[in-house]
Chains A and B, each alone.
Chain A
Amino acid sequence: MQLITEILLTILAIVGFGILFSVPRRVLFIGGAIGGWTWFALQMGLEAGVTNVVSTVIASFTAASISHFLAKRLQIPVTTLSIPGILPLVPGSLAYFTMLDFVEGDYLGGLENGVQTMLQAGAIAAGLVLGLAVFSFGVGRGNRYEAGS
């Protein structure tokens, strides 16, 4: 029940974000749905006992794959879908507590939260890389010794 509320609120929030980035109207709610899926994937990963970072990678990878797939189908730049898709993963809370710790002089706690923030941001990027790699399969440029076709 709580998960459903969370997913609905995520979709709403991502649609709001889509308006901020002025995503085209015809894909606004598709982006919201991808965001909802991302949150669902993240929560499922956490539920299954996977660490936060790995769940983030999985969620970001699925979001990136779905956005690449739909962007090809709808003939639209992939950023209009992938940015809403990965927004629910942004470690805003961790970044805030990092800052709060540093302001209050708790440098050790700040470093701990800061490292976690970095790791989570890196995990989002890793998921994006994996998604991109899957969808650019077969268009390589040759190996490091010989140029491809």
Chain B
Amino acid sequence: MGAKADKVMDVCLRAGELMLTYGAETYRVEETMERMAKAAGFRNVQCFTTTTGVFLSFEEKKGNGDLMQMVRVKDRMQDLNKVAEVNQVSREFTGGGLTVQEVERRLEEIFAQKVEYPIYVIHFGAGIAGGGFSYLFGGGLFDWIPAFAAAVLASITLLEIEKLLKVRFASELAAAFIGSSAGIALVTLGFGNNVNQIIIGSLMPLVPGVPLTNAVRDLLSGDLLAGMSRGVEALLTSLSIASGVALSISIFM
């Protein structure tokens, strides 16, 4: 393996890994990596991506065997801003505006940068989303405030427990439990009227929107394996939310 091929392989895999980790669709990951490898001048480029790993192979020069490497993707997070930025970098690279070294530096910068919004803004956003949805699902205007509080509490619980535990679905269960218990408690204390709508509002920020949408998109574009596994992930998340709420309701209501 020549030095250039090695470098390009690393950079392509890094780009694919970043996109897959932060919630891009499978077809986008594959297309980005194939385009980058082709733009670097390699032929017979093949890429295979599932929800948990990335494979890339291409031909360095005619007569030699093809090169192939893989990267295992363990964590799946959601940060669409990073996906957009990696997309931009790959677009500039295939357009001929960047060298391989520059791409590598940019990708490392994207990996190291913090999330677009500070954590307290994220909690606040969860509260606004929860309050808004509690009204849209038929709650009164004054249920906005308890739903806001419960959603913020659920969001804080989610992030704090994700820090502590390696198990994926336990944090959603705990967050749903805390959020709906807070909703029930607030209604019992006299804030807000419609307990059901307040609970729904507090749960909406936990909905796995990114895996759900990506699952549909993957299945449509023919990435059946990735689509199924993402769909199962979304389903398990929803089930763990449901069991969290069920637990809270059967205890407190």
In whole angstroms, what is the CA distance A53 to B84 when docked?
Answer: 32
Which single residue of chain B is at the shortest CB-CB distance from A86? Answer: B213
Q: Are A18 and B125 in contact (CB under 8 A)?
A: yes
Residue B64 is within 8 A (CB to CB) of chain A in the complex: no
Instruction: Given A16-B125, A92-B200, A99-B246, decide whether A9 and B135 contact each other with a Cβ distance below 8 A.
Output: yes
B16 within 8 A of A: no
A108 contacts the other chain (Cβ, under 8 Å)? no
A149 to chain B, nearest CB (A): 18
Contacts of A30 in B (CB 8 A): none
Contact A103 B213 (CB under 8 A): no
For residue A72, give the distance in angstroms from its CB to the closest CB of chain B.
13
B78–A77 touching, CB < 8 Å? no
**A93→B250 CA distance, assembly (Å):** 18
For B205-230 the 0/1 string (1 means CB < 8 A from A) is 10101100110110010000000000
Q: Mark B109-126, 1 if CB is under 8 A from A, else 0.
A: 000000111000110111
Binding site secondary structure of chain B: helix
Q: Find residues 1-60 in chain A having any chain B CB closer than 8 Å to their own CB.
A: 5-6, 9-10, 12-25, 39
Which of these, B78, B84, B210, B238, contacts A24 with CB under 8 Å?
A: B84
Total inter-chain residue pairs, C-beta < 8 Å: 145
Distance between Cα atoms of A24 and B79 in the complex (Å): 9
Known pairs A6-B136, A9-B132, A15-B128; A87 contacts B209 (CB<8 A):
yes
Contact of A80 among B80, B117, B207, B242 (CB under 8 A): B80
Which residues of chain A are within 8 angstroms of B128 by Cβ–Cβ distance? 12-13, 15-16
Q: Are A10 and B132 in contact (CB under 8 A)?
A: yes
In the complex, what distance in Å separates the CA atom of A120 from the CA atom of B80?
Answer: 25
A20 to chain B minimum Cβ distance, whole angstroms, is: 5
Indicate the member of B78, B200, B209, B238 with the most A CB atoms within 10 Å.
Answer: B209
Shortest distance in angstroms between A68's beta carbon and chain B's nearest beta carbon? 11
Q: How far is the CB of A121 from chain B (nearest CB, A)?
A: 8
Contact B84 A88 (CB under 8 A): no
Seed contacts A13-B133, A79-B213, A93-B137; 12 additional CB < 8 Å A-B pairs: A9-B136, A13-B129, A13-B131, A16-B127, A20-B129, A21-B209, A24-B84, A75-B88, A88-B136, A90-B207, A96-B199, A132-B220
